[in-house]
Chain A
């Protein structure tokens, strides 16, 4: 073969080999699963509040065991109420390069303005559970930006209740004399998701019997992981004397509320006057 075509042929072969090697290096190291994603656990999520806006964030750690960097990786998250179609949370991360051979932390964050969440949906999320649509979008470039991929993952999942295990037991009620009158003190417990810890939940209570309303209360409770507090119903002298001396059937309506959402539990208790 003559020199000139031989040189060109060798060049073409080298060019093809380089492409082959590039593809080999791009995909072969990834096939055994050399990309690890450390998905943050429940404890890793932190939240902060500003008015009605809750910001939730967690670090997502990614290990790239390949040869090439994953460039311009960005994540889009959104949570939508499937009934109303309202997007309650949406955010996208800043593009970040996942460098080969290292762990890289990708900060995940999204904001929820609870005032935008329909009251029914918020009530369901807080106190029972509610099916929401979660969307995760991922954009990334690979192999010297020759390949770009967009993945969009969507699924419906139930979330909540964020406030649960409400315990209100009138059988443990005790009457306590306080300056200015007598209180009926009943222990009140509930559990909370870490997202709501540090927030205030308003509690409205009403005590009545078959004929009249005996007492009302409005109080604010600071939410903890396990909140243990007492609800104090202020009793008038007449009601206090009645309860101290006679039996009655009492009805309690306990209504915790958080922003626009509220939830009422009804309790009935056969009251017997305390012994001497």
Chain B
């Protein structure tokens, strides 16, 4: 009964909790519903309509039902973390919240309001969505209880609970001691929000839009019903998804239990997508509305993805099994790699199946599933909108592109598997990465359909050189090879160490001078290549594509309307294109070096300023110095334009130069930590986590010392006066366990 003893409670915390819950469940709903009442037009005439009466009834009953919630919130806040009383009152409180929500959404007043206003809404769907939030809340309370129970027991003087069973394979892997509540809650939240709640909200919004825009004919009603059925199916599947995702997240990687629940979750998702796409009447509703979208084909694509999800789960089990056993202390047979083997770079023993399947899954999603679905939707729309020969021709072209996306993505996925399978720094990963780039280039070239796409566009009056545009895209794809090589160079040393090969130790000369910061050994090719790729996209491919497309449109207009006097625009565009091409290489190289050198180095500062100045000049050049002038003769009239927007250009140039200030601030801010880190890049995330870990460790140490003193004092007092339990406040403030980053 120590769980319910009042002396362990804290009144202030109880009142704060009660106030927060009173605000959420009484004050805000009351004010919101009162406000809605004042917005109702009839209020102005003082007429108490049915709607207003129902609204006031809803407001009053909600406030009444919320009173126990507030009382239970007080009790929940009053009792310390780890006490079963806190958990009990939290769960009872959640029960009342369910009652509150049920009354709100399904009670008579809201139904009457909906009937009176002819809103044609189904509030039960909102209730189910809210209940998922309640379920996640209950899981959070359970996690808090389990996490803080040990400290609470120690604080109130209860004996230590029996030790958990010794980790072993088999049944232990399905037990409660093998898992982690925090990870479970996080996984469940991600799955529920991503797979159920967000799609359900989108579907509800779609149905709402159809009501607002008055789609009331029979076919539209069929579509609305199908969307409603999809929402209900989603919400129905949400319950097992919540349970299975929680269990999958609960068990660590490498356990049979995680694999089993992950596989069940995958199968459940297959069932869910099957129900959504094939058994909700969506296919018939779309056909009735003129959209010939083959949902069966989309289902097959999703099925392929799900197969990879299942394979990834199996791969993860195979990859992480030994690591898990090693972590929990189960003896394993270590397999030794031969560091001198020439084939070590391609040895399957160094790879991870799970990462390979994950890379394939992502590639298929990016190059096959998403493009094919988009093309199918566009074809369905075109099919409905155009029935002339031009429309048919365009549909044929899109169907060919769909085939390309379907089949040419397979080699990319196969290569991506190899790249994901082998670890960073190995030749295997580099080779498959480069082959994947080659496969992607072939995929992009195949999308040109041997010039038939360009011929079609030209026939329609859009004079465009697709080869030129594709060349830009291919440059962007090919630039990824620098990333692969950079990743290989950066991780090669770590890989050699991991497989047991000898490496040369770094020798630092002292003292270290600023020019030494320019040494290549301090740089990271991967980060440099990443920055370089961003620069290729931002300062070369995107602007060049825009210029090319605009030029094609202008040329087509000139040809169509015989407006040769507009050719000055093409000349301007030609000049801009030339400037973009000229500046591309210097900018990319400079940006590469800026990313190559780490934060805190003088070299990064120098390249940061150089890039800022170069881009400022680029802005000035691309905008043609901020001045444009031309004369257009249009038959009997002529038009002269002189546009001076140099002031605006200066603003953009200043914005670019400000980045120089940023790199200056970064240099002074990171300098010490970079030197302290032995001239290795200071990873922001890692440094922060290390700092946080240190802070928690210090806090834990203080708490332990305090507890030790308190226990000593308590023991001496007990010897004198009897067994007086300690106060709880000092113990509750700090978390009981300190987890690593």
Contacts and interface: CB of A to CB of B under 8 A. Distances in A.
Interface of A: 1-5, 7-9, 11-12, 15-16, 19, 23, 143-156
A119 to B, nearest CB: 26
A143 B646 CA distance: 12
Interface class of chain A by DSSP: mixed
B658 A4 contact: no
Given A146-B647, A146-B651, A149-B641, A2 B670 contact: yes
B655 A155 contact: no
A9 B662 contact: yes
B647 A145 contact: yes
Given A7-B665, A149-B641, A143 B658 contact: no
Contacts of B670: 2, 5
B669 A12 contact: no
A236 to B, nearest CB: 55
Interface in B638-696: 638-645, 647-648, 651-652, 654-655, 658-659, 661-662, 665-666, 668-670, 684
Nearest to B658: A12
Contact of A150 (B642, B647, B654): B642
B651 A19 contact: yes
6 contacts: A2-B669, A3-B669, A143-B648, A152-B641, A153-B639, A154-B639
Given A15-B658, A154-B638, 17 more contacts: A4-B665, A5-B665, A8-B662, A11-B658, A12-B658, A144-B647, A145-B647, A146-B647, A148-B643, A149-B641, A149-B643, A151-B639, A151-B641, A151-B642, A152-B641, A152-B642, A156-B637
B139 to A, nearest CB: 33
B655 A146 contact: no
Nearest to B631: A152
A147 to B, nearest CB: 5
B665 A8 contact: yes
Nearest to B646: A146
A70 to B, nearest CB: 14
- Which residue, A2, A7, A143, A153, has most C-beta atoms of chain B within 10 A? A2
B655 A150 contact: no
B658 A149 contact: no
B655 A15 contact: yes
Nearest to A155: B637
Contact of B636 (A7, A144, A145, A155): A155
B655 A152 contact: no
B655 A16 contact: yes
A32 to B, nearest CB: 22
Given A3-B669, A8-B662, A146 B684 contact: no
Contacts of A153: 637-640
A1 B647 CA distance: 33
Contacts of B643: 147-150
A1 B684 contact: yes
B305 to A, nearest CB: 36
Contacts of A145: 647
Given A2-B670, A5-B669, A146-B651, A12 B645 contact: no
A6 B644 CA distance: 35
A151 B639 CA distance: 7
A156 B652 CA distance: 41
Contacts of B640: 150-154
Given A151-B639, A155-B638, A4 B651 contact: no
A11 B662 CA distance: 9
Contacts of A3: 669
A147 B644 contact: yes
A143 B641 CA distance: 18
Contact of B641 (A1, A9, A150, A155): A150
B637 A12 contact: no
A151 B632 CA distance: 11
A252 B669 CA distance: 103
Nearest to A16: B655
B633 to A, nearest CB: 9
A64 to B, nearest CB: 19
Contacts of A150: 640-644
A15 B665 CA distance: 17
Nearest to B637: A155
Contacts of A9: 662
Nearest to B634: A155
Contact of B644 (A11, A148, A154): A148
A229 to B, nearest CB: 39
Contacts of B654: 15
Contacts of B666: 2, 4-5
Contacts of B647: 143-147
Interface string B209-232: 000000000000000000000000
A173 to B, nearest CB: 46
Contacts of B642: 149-152
A155 B640 CA distance: 11
Interface in B459-494: none
A3 B665 CA distance: 9
A15 B670 CA distance: 24
A7 B661 CA distance: 11
A142 to B, nearest CB: 9
Interface string B341-382: 000000000000000000000000000000000000000000
Contacts of B638: 153-155
A145 B636 CA distance: 33
User: Top 3 A-B pairs ranked by shortest CB distance?
Assistant: A146-B647, A152-B640, A155-B637
Contacts of B639: 151-154
Nearest to B638: A154
A225 to B, nearest CB: 30
B644 A149 contact: yes
A7 B658 CA distance: 12
A2 B644 CA distance: 40
B645 A146 contact: yes
A4 B636 contact: no
A19 B648 CA distance: 9
A147 B648 contact: yes
A13 to B, nearest CB: 10
Contacts of B661: 8, 12
Contacts of A11: 658
B662 A5 contact: yes
Given A153-B639, A155-B638, A4 B669 contact: yes
Contacts of B655: 12, 15-16, 19
Nearest to A156: B636
B515 to A, nearest CB: 23
A121 to B, nearest CB: 19
Nearest to B645: A147
A153 B638 CA distance: 6
Contacts of A152: 639-642
B417 to A, nearest CB: 35
A145 B644 CA distance: 10
A146 B645 CA distance: 6
B431 to A, nearest CB: 36
Interface in B439-462: none
A33 B647 CA distance: 25
Contact of B659 (A12, A23, A143, A154): A12
A148 B628 CA distance: 11
Contacts of B658: 8, 11-12, 15
A150 B651 CA distance: 21
